[in-house]
Structure 1
């Protein structure tokens, strides 16, 4: 399958002072997978194979629970087209 873009917003249900540390753990994991990604102020966008990215999303939920979250709210956006889609084609003119 061609590359797709998947944006993931994680909202961990923890005390406010723990939100960023939990999100940081998820971002560290994403970085360790080797996929192309960009962190934004509201979500992290990744580029790669859909199945692989969905596995990353699943693991992100597990990381949050391991970090003490009683609940994890996540929002996922997927941009798919048969010939593939890249982050660069969408934002290159802004760089």
Structure 2
């Protein structure tokens, strides 16, 4: 299972706020029952099969265009560990157990 951090930022919208676009992306995520996701203050974390996650990232990248943006800057970071099963929760627990 892969964990992907994604941040989708519309550029040139006339406003410094992006919460409207983030909310629109999360409406798309609510329809994706095959993955887990978590909103954070700076990005959204996705968890699931890598091919599926990349498909979802593509959908998220398109969301601002559907709201009138003419340029979108999307960043992704992928943690694809194949030697054992992992999850968002397990990664956090691993750190918290050492505190």
Indicate the TM-score class for this superposition, using the shorter chain for normalisation.
0.7 to 0.9
- What is the TM-score when the length of structure 2 is the normalising length? 0.83
Unpaired segments ≥5 residues, structure 2 = none
Counterpart for residue 69 of structure 2: 69
Give runs of aligned pairs for residues 7-86 of structure 1, distance below 5 A.
7-13=5-11, 14-16=13-15, 19-34=18-33, 35-82=35-82, 83-86=84-87
Confirm or deny: 8 A CA contact 1:79 1:85 kept in the other structure. Answer: no
Q: Answer 1 or 2: which has greater helix percent.
A: 1
Most deviating of 12-21 and 57-66: 12-21
- What is the TM-score when the length of structure 1 is the normalising length? 0.87
Counterpart for residue 91 of structure 2: 90
- What is the aligned length? 92
Unpaired segments ≥5 residues, structure 1 = none
Most deviating of 64-73 and 9-18: 9-18
What value does the CA root-mean-square deviation take over the aligned residues?
1.6
